[in-house]
A = this chain, B = another copy of it.
Amino acid sequence: MFESAELGHRIDKDVWDREVPPLREALLDAQYDLAAAKFPVVILVAGVDGAGKSETVNTLNEWMDPRHIQTHGLAEPSDEERERPYMWRYWRLLPPKGKIGIFDGSWYTWPILERAYGRIKTSDLDQDMARVARFEQMLIHEGALVLKFWMHLGKTVQKKRLKSLEKDPKTSWRVTPRDWKHFEMYDTFRQVAERALRATSTGDAPWIVVEATDPRYQRLTVGRILLERLRARLDHPAPVVPPPPSQPPAPTLDGVNILKALDLSKRMDKKDYEEELLILQGKLNLLTRHRNFRKHAVVLVFEGVDAAGKGGGIRRITQALDARRYHIHPTAAPTEEERAQPYLWRFWRNLPRRGEVAIYDRSWYGRVLVERVEGFCSEADWRRAYSEINDFEDQVVRNRSLLLKFWLSISQEEQLRRFEERETTPFKRFKITEEDWRNREKWPAYEAATCDMLDRTSTEIAPWTLVESEDKHFGRIKILRTLVQRLEDEL
């Protein structure tokens, strides 16, 4: 895999002087076309130590308009980043549509290092790379152009390079003991890197190995490949084909489904409710002050039809929490900034630190509910969303976050009653809109989409809790009890 990058590729200065000006002009043109074409470009610059990674990144910044490039040199993760899932720092930095994001250091850096140092096993590396491949596949489905450059130096060239950097007082600072340590591990690194590259070279996002012996050859090669891939995509955009009409979700054969199977007659009288509410809120408050609470982040998801009681359920939780510990994230139509990113981006960026509670009032499940039913995304998009969501939640859970998902269920009749109440109660009128009435007419389609969602995303790692909310008291207590029980189990 690296043989072609050990041939001593080099070009003369006159070739460089002749080739660079037209390349720069063409890259600038492509960059402006990109701003209009509205897809993001993700460039990874990875490779062995001393292979001129940051110099190459600097060159690209010099050659192009840096206002449309976001460059990220990634060192050790920060405290903020360590408390989130591994991919959080990268999600934060994804370029929006129309821009180029260059990562000097990437999601590959740590798994390769960890494996080379023997701190993780080969099977762990394979699992990490499988996740990375799925992440990149998602980026591509969301429209991104992904370019992955691996800067390579043969073993003898790398040794020479380190020695000459060390000898020159002007550059000796760039050679650290860590660089020499890594050099001693050259063969191990090479083997691990090859395994990682092999597992993640796909048709859409192949690794491009570039020899770094001669900086001119290296930079010009990177520039030319970048131009070629950019132009190919700009000049031949994916054809706009009207997708086949998405069928409304079909009900089950016998009309039975997991929502209809719920016993909505469950009730709790006011006195019992008020008593238990206080007890549970007290327990919850104590639990959030438990010394182990700071070891976990808590993610609460609330979904349900309009007027199912999501807001009320959330308030009964937050009443028991220190305001510094929680954030409520209401999920409405995405903003312009959010629309320029993969649909999961706005949820990723709100993931809590350890010791914090993030409450999502509606969530990433919008893609397989409202977006599916209303045709806001294509069938292919919502079909792939189930596994993307499972991947996302898997990362959240593996980061020792406690993820609880509540589906609040009411009958169609109860919804009507609550709608009417909202319309006639002055201080509740803001809660009801024309859209709520329109959605209500699509009840069967929403119900079927919800059942599909529950089937595909109620997993062992992140099960749904179905909450019978016909009676508000019963529903709220069930939510609180579930949360308290879970915290007691985990802390």
Give me the interface of A with B, judged by CB distance under 8 Å: 1, 3-4, 7-11, 15, 121, 123-124, 126-127, 130, 191, 194-195, 198, 201-204, 206, 209, 217, 220-221, 224, 228, 232, 235-236, 239, 241, 244, 247, 250, 252-254, 256-258, 261, 380, 383-387, 390, 451, 454-456, 458-460
Contacts and interface: CB of A to CB of B under 8 A. Distances in A.
12 contacts: A3-B454, A4-B257, A4-B454, A4-B455, A7-B257, A10-B254, A203-B383, A203-B385, A203-B386, A204-B384, A221-B252, A239-B241
Contact of A253 (B3, B8, B224): B224
Contacts of A206: 383, 386, 456
Interface centre among A1, A8, A247 (most CB of B within 10 A): A1
A261 B7 contact: yes
Nearest to A209: B455
A458 B3 contact: yes
Nearest to A238: B241
A228 B455 CA distance: 19
- How many chain copies does the complex carry? 2
A253 B9 contact: yes
Given A4-B455, A217-B253, 7 more contacts: A1-B459, A9-B252, A9-B254, A127-B130, A201-B387, A203-B386, A206-B383
A210 to B, nearest CB: 10
A60 to B, nearest CB: 16
A459 to B, nearest CB: 6
Nearest to A129: B130
Contacts of A258: 3-4, 7
Nearest to A242: B239
A380 B380 CA distance: 19
Nearest to A123: B123
B7 A194 contact: no
A459 B459 CA distance: 37
A3 B217 contact: no
B228 A3 contact: no
A156 to B, nearest CB: 16
Contacts of A383: 203-204, 206
A130 to B, nearest CB: 4
A1 B209 contact: no
Given A244-B236, A383-B206, A253 B11 contact: yes
Contacts of A203: 380, 383-387
A241 to B, nearest CB: 5
Contacts of A250: 228
Given A4-B451, A124-B123, A239-B239, A11 B456 contact: no
Q: Considering residues A198, A217, A261, which has the most beta carbons from chain B within 10 angstroms of its beta carbon? A: A198
A1 B458 contact: yes
Contact of A130 (B126, B195, B459): B126
A353 to B, nearest CB: 27
A198 B463 CA distance: 13
A455 B217 contact: no
A388 to B, nearest CB: 8
Contact of A256 (B8, B126, B239, B456): B8
Contacts of A1: 455-456, 458-460
B244 A232 contact: yes
Contacts of A459: 1, 194, 198
Residue among A4, A130, A224 with the most chain B CB within 10 A? A4
A191 B456 CA distance: 15
B455 A3 contact: yes
B130 A386 contact: no
